[in-house]
Structure 1
Amino acid sequence: MLSAKSLFQEILDNDESFRLFCSIAATGESQGGWENARIAALVPQSARELAPKITRHGADEDKHGRIFHALMNRRGLAPAEVPADTDYTMLLERHGIGLAHDKLKSEQRLTVEDIVTYLAHSRVTEQRASEQMELLRRHFGDHPGIGRAVRMISQDEDRHLAYCHEELLRLASAGHGRAIRRTLHECALAEIRVYRDVSLAVMAHMGRILGWSRAKAATLAAAIHAVYAYERAAGWRRMVSLKMPEHRDALGGPATPALELA
């Protein structure tokens, strides 16, 4: 019987599929680290108090990238080339979601509207990351090989999501509520399409590595399309709601080191 746990266990048990999984994850996390570092450097003067938190966010993403590389190193695996159709971060940018890299590569200060875009994009994508890591933590949090890494990354993603909620609510109270609602809606609808496409691509690559039958590949593809249908109909709403988190100032202070995972 197919389940999320059995599927990931199969990927985990094979060196080549595990190598691809970690490479895809490391690339996305490292890209997120670079983006946050650039945003922190370019925040407008009126939002300078956000810079340390954005820096912390980026440092966490960089740390996650190093963790995935460390997991590969433990098994004597070199990073794999990441297929373009599995690059979630870049595909989101191509759909116009988040801040364009051309803007981040310039030295021009961002605007408050840009910060709204950044936080709305992060709120949507961190929802996805938090849910995915919670799933892995539930099934593999005690795994001797990856459990510690899964728990650490999951905790960080929960903090990132809390930070996005708190800062967006603060901006909403400052008069940016309409822009936040509009941007969240646009980001959520685009993200669920990109997530569907990336999920189909990742499963296709994994299927070739693991030699899945046509029936198994078709079943997994149908499940991905079913998730998309649900998210397109109603599931996207969980990505756009805002509530004050129990954990306030979630990104205050320095990033948690990952020395024990190196």
Structure 2
Amino acid sequence: MLSAKSLFQEILDNDESFRLFCSIAASGESQGGWENARIAALVPQTERELAPKIARHGADEDKHGRIFNALLKKRGLRPVPVPPDTDYTMLLERHGIGLAHEKLTADKPLTVQDIVTYLAHSRVTEQRASEQMDLLRRHFADHPDIGRAVRVISQDEDNHLAYCHEELLRFARAGHGRAIQRTLRECALAEIRIYRDVSLAVMAHMGRILRWPRSRSLVLTAGIHAVYAWERLAGWRRMVSLRMPERRNALGGPATTAAEFA
């Protein structure tokens, strides 16, 4: 029976598919680490108290990249170049989600509106990350090779999502509510389309590596399109709601290390 668990188990069991999966994940996390570090350095003076949390977010993303690379090293594998059609982070930027790299590479401080935009975009993408890692945690939390990594990353993603909710609510109380809701909606509708395209690309690459029969590829493709149809109709709304999280000040402390995975 085809299920999320059996599908990922098949990818996990094959060196080449596992190599591609970890390479894609490590690249995206490392890019997110760089972006957050730059945003933390450019936070406007009026929001400097937020800088350590943004820096913590970036440190976590860097850690996740190191974890995925350590999983490869543990199996004697080296990273492979990430196919452009599977580069979720790059495609998000190309479609205007996240702050432009031209802005992040400059030395000019960001505006408060830039920070609001960053948090709104992060709230959408962290929703996706939290859900994906929760799925892996449900099925592979006790796996001898990847279980600890899955648990650590999943907890971090939950913290990132909680932080985005809390900070956006703070900005909403400060008068940015309409801008936040507009940005959240625009970002969510763009993200679900990009996620669909990336999912199709990843499955195509995995299918070639694992030599899936055409029937399996067609089933998976249909499933991805069905998820997109649901998200386009109503599912995107889960990405734009805001509520005070149970985890308050989730990024208020120092980042944990990834030394145990190296």
Please indicate the TM-score interval, normalised by the length of the shorter structure: over 0.9
State the alpha-carbon separation in 2 of the partners of residues 172 and 68 from structure 1.
36
SS of the residue 2:113 aligns to: helix
State the alpha-carbon separation in 2 of the partners of residues 95 and 102 from structure 1.
14
Tell me whether 1:86 sits opposite 2:86 in the alignment. yes
Displacement of 1:197: 0.2
User: Aligned letter for 1:44?
Assistant: P
- TM-score, normalized by length of structure 2? 1.00
What are the equivalent positions in structure 2 for 1:37-76 lying under 5 Å apart?
37-76=37-76
Quote the residue 1:199 is aligned against.
Answer: 199
Quote the residue 1:213 is aligned against.
Answer: 213
Identity %: 82
Displacement of 1:119: 0.2
User: Aligned letter for 2:133?
Assistant: M
Give the gaps of 5 or more residues in structure 1: none
User: What do residues 126-146 of structure 1 show as CA deviations (whole Å, max 9, x unaligned)?
Assistant: 000000000000000000000
Displacement of 1:256: 1.1
Quote the residue 2:145 is aligned against.
Answer: 145
Quote the residue 1:162 is aligned against.
Answer: 162
User: What do residues 50-107 of structure 1 show as CA deviations (whole Å, max 9, x unaligned)?
Assistant: 0000000000000000000000000000001100000000101111111011110111
What are the equivalent positions in structure 2 for 1:123-142 lying under 5 Å apart?
123-142=123-142
Quote the residue 2:178 is aligned against.
Answer: 178
- TM-score, normalized by length of structure 1? 1.00
Displacement of 1:257: 1.3
What are the equivalent positions in structure 2 for 1:217-236 lying under 5 Å apart?
217-236=217-236
Give the gaps of 5 or more residues in structure 2: none
Quote the residue 1:118 is aligned against.
Answer: 118
Tell me whether 1:255 sits opposite 2:255 in the alignment. yes
State the alpha-carbon separation in 2 of the partners of residues 88 and 175 from structure 1.
32
Quote the residue 2:26 is aligned against.
Answer: 26
User: Aligned letter for 2:91?
Assistant: L
Aligned length: 262
State the alpha-carbon separation in 2 of the partners of residues 96 and 152 from structure 1.
30
